Structure 1
């Protein structure tokens, strides 16, 4: 029986509604906010969603980037249309041409090293960004810069502008940031006892070994000194998710302000498109049973070998569970450069054989809408923080298959602390090919077991609480109100 698409969550629509609380503290236009994202999809997407929330307070917003990455941001955003919000302005700055090689799934580390030339090219954004800030500073009372933690060097000139101040946005979980501080300070007993809840950190939290290569670690280190220049920190999380770790960060950095103002993504949206314009995956979901489909996507930076793709394919088939699998090559630095784009191969006849139970999507897919569909009951994910927040917000449990960076630690947060997911692929086995039987067992556990049903129930309850926190009077909304009041003081 068909389930016509209907978002299963409350009707509070952040896309259009400006709440009474917003109107009461409506600032004058003599405060403007400038966003400076790192040009990688998971980073761009989070800050663009935050720009929507800030713009809803009638504050002029400026988004800085190259023409390529601003176009990428607008083309891929879901749940709202930046072109319909007049007080969001994009600034297309020019950087010298940079190499945009395809991903290499045979690299020693899974970290997407092919994106580093793009990251390094961002240093050329410093001068045009500084010029924009100086122009805005002459026209407004205060210029507020919100920048990705990996773009701190680009906005270092903020300290030279008397009426400007900057805030660092952290694109990863507070739990992962907390663990980075533990790594740097040593996991001493006194450190862990700063908050009683912190004692419940699992003993087998993954180290950073294998998460990143030396070049990206050097890039991160180069930003560290400039991040000290900020006036506070913003996180795409909620205190109901990560209160002990937010408390820890406030203690370890007592001279900085900290705001947990997430989730940034829309927590409810109405399908305003005509049925024929909806993505094919959503139309397919309309005809599936509630909570019966597992969504499979490993984000924009994961590169699998041909052998791993084959085993994953057979594992999904053997699980006997309905699925939507997004199978596309990882992003290059320029996602619109179609040269050398590899079509990922599946076993001969596979798509025809599984047509009754699933579909393979080979282009960009509307992840937020898929997760919000009533037929989606699980998410096989790399555990990038952007994907985690979207899944938790929509009340969908996670099958964890971490690949690099903060993802192994996010997997711990999801599976062991929040208990809204299960491990599909152990991080300790990252150098091995995950065989089909391993994939099938994990998928069945998430989708067709009593344990999986319990995870789903907890995820739905947590998602509901998180959505309510963003409604008027909710805890996250109040924290966002607090941040807006601070920058509008």
Structure 2
């Protein structure tokens, strides 16, 4: 382990879920660019997952990251249930509970780093607060929670958990998605178990921007809700961490944290990028539902028919949800209607492997994104100026889709959250695709998305608002 006397070592401790692994790995590259040693701590299995899927990140920057591959605890690894009434990925619960067993090996790494450096700064997922609790016993260590979701979602869950309405225009309040069906009791209990350890953090970092969520960031910083009640404590830790203000915590809003030019970097060049190269500008709808959504055969069939009937070009990443161990066994092969791929040849492309999403969204041919609206995907889409067809499945996704479509007005809703138990019919999908990709309404939405994206990208450059927030955080931890 490198000696870093009179320096600061930064340590990242992610939750083993792809969107969380990826965001903290992106943050590693950003912090490392300031010249500080950065360490990434996790089980050997999930560190490998993060490295293998490091799309759009410069290999030279990744090579500077110190990975600490801890022994992987044993855990059950069931397959996802595409017919579950709640789409939340309950099959990953055992993975997240096993991750809590990394406390002692993590503490060993922290103590070793602390003996060789002036200060150790731990940046951790709120759901890993139990794992990093020993940082409070190390005199020259301090910890910060990194929130992988939108500030709007944090506030939505915080207000909703207290039975209150988020301050907004009356017409928006009437359309706000409810909390029901977003998560399971098991993940709520795991989140609640993090609470006392989460209070030990020195502050919060957010993958968001004042240019995207300024009004909600102001509301978060005002902190008028007071102490959390017992019902609020049962909310998911990831969804209420920034709102848990027993004492005033410092906060930084440093998003977007994705690479400035993902289209210029392709760690593993994909044939889908070659296909995009020969498509007209803004002509292709990118379709992907992330790594934690498992669609039923009926849902897939209706989506396939809707895409085909729309007569619009599309690139569809068709994969089942991740298992806790993405390297174990075969994943379910999702069947498409007979003859579908032959009929859409030239118009659409189906990709069944891992796809380089940042590069796809940055491509000139991509003109829309049908998405589950995980915050990782939302931030990539917003930053790269791609309008969204929002189809939320669970967790913070209903509130993210509301933010994108109703507040930012850079997308359309495919399915309202109150209709989540109904299968979206092909005719409805066709209608949304046509509106987004082949109408004046879609052109206006795309124009707004592109203008916002340009503004957000500038904010991450030197002198921009987000870059100044990151500079402020770095100055704080190196004080």
Question: For residues 305 and 86 of structure 1, do their structure 2 counterparts lie closer, same or farther at Cα, with a shift above 3 Å needed?
Answer: closer
For structure 2, list consecutive stretches of 5 or more residues without a partner in the other structure. Answer: 224-244
Question: For residues 153 and 391 of structure 1, do their structure 2 counterparts lie closer, same or farther at Cα, with a shift above 3 Å needed?
Answer: same
1:56-100 per-position Cα deviation (integer Å, ceiling 9, x unaligned): 000100000111111111111122245654531000001332111
| Match runs of 1:36-75 below 5 Å | 36-75=13-52
1:338-361 per-position Cα deviation (integer Å, ceiling 9, x unaligned): 24x211000111101101200000
Q: CA deviation at 1:158?
A: 1.1
Question: Is 2:415 the counterpart of 1:425?
Answer: yes
Q: CA deviation at 1:28?
A: 8.0
Distance 1:359 1:86 in 2: 33
| Corresponding residue for residue 474 of structure 1 | 464
Q: Which of 438, 447, 465 is equivalent to 1:448? A: 438
Q: Which of 180, 185, 205 is equivalent to 2:157? A: 180
8 Å Cα contact 2:361-2:384 kept in structure 1: yes
For structure 1, list consecutive stretches of 5 or more residues without a partner in the other structure. Answer: 1-26
8 Å Cα contact 2:266-2:356 kept in structure 1: no
Q: Which of 301, 307, 311 is equivalent to 2:302? A: 311
Between Structure 1 and Structure 2, how many residues are aligned?
454
| Corresponding residue for residue 18 of structure 1 | none
8 Å Cα contact 2:387-2:449 kept in structure 1: yes
Q: Which of 168, 172, 180 is equivalent to 2:145? A: 168
8 Å Cα contact 2:389-2:414 kept in structure 1: yes
Structure with more contact order per residue of length (Cα contacts < 8 Å, sep ≥ 6): 1
Distance 2:64 2:335 in 1: 44
| Corresponding residue for residue 20 of structure 1 | none
8 Å Cα contact 2:266-2:359 kept in structure 1: no
Question: Is 2:190 the counterpart of 1:219?
Answer: yes
Distance 2:419 2:6 in 1: 53
Q: Which of 455, 475, 478 is equivalent to 1:485? A: 475
| Match runs of 1:73-84 below 5 Å | 73-82=50-59, 84=61
| Corresponding residue for residue 3 of structure 1 | none
Question: For residues 396 and 75 of structure 1, do their structure 2 counterparts lie closer, same or farther at Cα, with a shift above 3 Å needed?
Answer: same
TM-score by length of 2: 0.92
Distance 1:417 1:155 in 2: 36
Distance 2:468 2:171 in 1: 28
| Match runs of 1:79-98 below 5 Å | 79-82=56-59, 84-98=61-75
TM-score by length of 1: 0.90
Distance 2:406 2:260 in 1: 24
Distance 1:205 1:258 in 2: 26
Question: Is 2:423 the counterpart of 1:436?
Answer: no
Q: Which of 179, 184, 193 is equivalent to 1:208? A: 179
Distance 1:28 1:92 in 2: 24
Distance 1:125 1:29 in 2: 28
